[in-house]
Amino acid sequence: MKRIGKFLGRACVVAALGCLVFGSVASGAALKVGMVTDAGTIDDKSFNQGTWEGILRAEKELGIKVKYLKPGGTTEADYLKEIGNLYDAGYRFIVTPGFKFETSIYKAQNKYPKGKFVILDGAPHKGDYTPEVKENTVSIFFAEHEAGFMAGFATALQLQKASVGFVGGMEIPPVQKFNWGFQQGVAYANANYGTEITMNPENVLYQGTFSDVAAGQQIAASMYDRGVKAIFAAAGGVGVGVINEAKTRAAAGKDIWVIGVDVDQYADGIYDGEKSIILTSAIKRIDHAAFDMVKAELEGTFPGGQTLIFDAANFGVGIPWENPNLREDVQKEADAIFAKLQSGEIEVAAEQGDLIK
pLDDT in tens, 135-188: 999 999 999 999 999 999 999 999 999 999 999 999 999 999 999 999 999 999
pLDDT classification of 203: cutoffs 50, 70, 90 = very high
Q: What is the pLDDT of residue 184?
A: 97
Residue 107 C-beta-side C-alpha neighbours within 13 Å: 12
Give strand pairing partners of 234.
168
| Sign for the pseudo-dihedral over CA of 207, 213, 214, 217 | positive
Instruction: Flag whether pLDDT at 18 surpasses 70.
Output: no
Higher pLDDT, 312 or 46: 312
pLDDT at 43: 83
- pLDDT, residue 27, reads 58
Alpha carbon dihedral 142, 143, 146, 149, in 10-degree steps, equals 80
Beta carbons within 8 Å of 36's beta carbon, 6+ residues apart: 68, 69, 70, 71, 79, 82, 83, 86, 94, 96, 101
Q: Smallest Cα–Cα separation from 266: which of 238, 234, 243?
A: 243
Q: What is the pLDDT of residue 5?
A: 34
Please provide the CATH number assigned to the domain covering 145-284: 3.40.50.2300
Please give the pLDDT value at position 10: 39
pLDDT of residue 46: 76
Burial (CB < 10 A; 0-12, 13-18, 19+), residue 24, is: exposed
CB 160 within 8 A of CB 191: no
Q: What is the mean predicted confidence (pLDDT) over 299-325?
A: 96
Whether the per-residue pLDDT at 102 is higher than 60: the answer is: yes
* Distance separating alpha carbons of residues 60 and 62, to the nearest angstrom: 6
Average pLDDT, the chain: 91
Domains in the chain: boundaries: 3-142+285-314, 145-284
On the question of a common fold for 3-142+285-314 and 145-284, the answer reads: yes
- What's the whole-number mean pLDDT along residues 305-329? 96
Share of the chain above pLDDT 90, in %: 83
CATH 2.60.40.1240 is right for the domain spanning 3-142+285-314: no
Predicted local distance difference test score (pLDDT) of residue 81: 98
* 51 within 8 A of 120, measured Cβ to Cβ: yes
